[in-house]
Chain A
Amino acid sequence: MNATWIIARKEITDALKNKLFLIILGMLLILTVVSVVLGAYQVRVALDNYTNAIEFLKSLGKTELPPMPNLNPISASKGFVNYIGMLGALLAMILGNYAIVKERRSGTLKLILSRKVFRDTLLNGKLLGNLTLFAGISLLAAAITFISVGAIGNVALSAGDAARMGLFFLMSFLYMAFFLVLGITFAVMVGNGNKALLLTVIMWLVLAFVFPQIGNTMDMDNQLPGGFFASMGMTKDQQTKVLVNFKFYETLRDSIEEMSPTKHYERVSFALLNVKPGFEKNTPMEVLGLKWINVLGLTAPTIILWLIAYMGFLRREDIYQT
């Protein structure tokens, strides 16, 4: 058997014995069920409400009926975006960190590296094993979602919706993969396992909360909403004048947001799940085509981090320290 695969299999069995991993995984799955069930139920209620409202309008003789509010069945997993964003990322960071640190603590890293194994093969095996694990988690969550939406929401998913949902779970997988690699890279680069974990978590805070928060704070939507201009009846000259003042902020804000894989994940997911309006009429592949930059923003950092981990691991001499 191939060395990569041997290591990968060991990773999977290790994770399935890890108490914390199992606890968080359990929570994630329970939350998935809860959020999907609640979401599906809400879709149903909303649908009933809307139908009633339409009936009423029709009976009043109205011919121009309000458009269907945003109650597409696949947005049932809207809450899931957040849970994966939080717990999935946490889970990925823990596994990534443990993958390296546990070998160093138990001294087994020396034993492995003194065998007929290339250092990059070891890393590949670790990555492969953990990715398989997360692919499994994504599939499981997807299965739960499909079943619940069908059973509770009482809405049949169209092929397009199912494809969108599938793509969304693919994006979730990519998102978790990023944090997995982040955990591994920090564990490789920082000698002290504990410190590496803390740094990984700080990095997570920065990417998933601080950057989007700064983006929000600096967003004029919040400070000078479109409504402001309108209510003031501003002329366009005045508008542009005010806006020019914010041009610098706007660029800075934008670049900060672009650095956050969380933001990219959110953008693709919300478009796929129709949480963000404006993509209802597109086919799933069109959505991806429109959002390809975000998919890139989600995967590119993973690849870069991974290459850095390669280079770092190859050079590390203090790998034998605990």
Chain B
Amino acid sequence: MSVPALRLTDVKKSFGPTAVIMGVSLDVAPGSRHAIIGPNGAGKTTLFNLISGRFPASGGRIELHGRSIDGLPPHEINRRGLSRSFQVTSIFPRMTVFENIRCGLLWSRGYKYSFWHLVGGQRALNAAAAQLLADVNLEARRDVPAGLLTYAEQRALEIGITIAGGADTVLLDEPTAGMSRSEADHAVALIRRITAGKTLVMVEHDMSVVFDLADVVTVLVYGQVIASGPPAEIRANRAVQDAYLGAPAEVA
């Protein structure tokens, strides 16, 4: 198997006395769609925070395309081609939807901290932003401040910002949380379309979304990986059912 897009070796994390991640090892093949599932409080979001550099790991190693990214600040990691979305929507509320997307593009288009370009006049940049806006079909809300969007629209915008930078490894943290069935289906189609050819790692609760999108599923329970493999195998796995429902599956 070629160099994995993302490799975690024995990663640990504890906040004070409580250990949250107890030695997780995980390989994500380039271009694969990897879903991480597990009950509430299993440490899924914490794992994302370690990978994306938001928190430093307490132990173990994290490598992106074979190069270590341990201890790097989030903006360094992002520049190497890894971007992430947040479980709690994290956008720029007082800027318009179009500007939110454009901010996601600025660094990758090489503008860096320029104060001599006028963003209004950059044709290629604005065309790319308009295209992305179409991808997440928010054209109708182009000049609306992002804070005024509905919940689902904000989640779609969040996905738009995450992939805007052209990162080849995309981490999505519960992209369909709080969405209705139709909205979730729509989001899944959107994710499949815009992460084509990229490596996707996703934390998700909705099993239908997971089995619909992912080609590898890893089950994280109480800070440890208890199973990893193709979706069908995971669905049938006894240990996963127990861990998930807290006790033998047959209901009282």
User: Do A and B belong to a common assembly?
Assistant: no
Interface residues of B (CB under 8 A from A): none
Interface residues of A (CB under 8 A from B): none
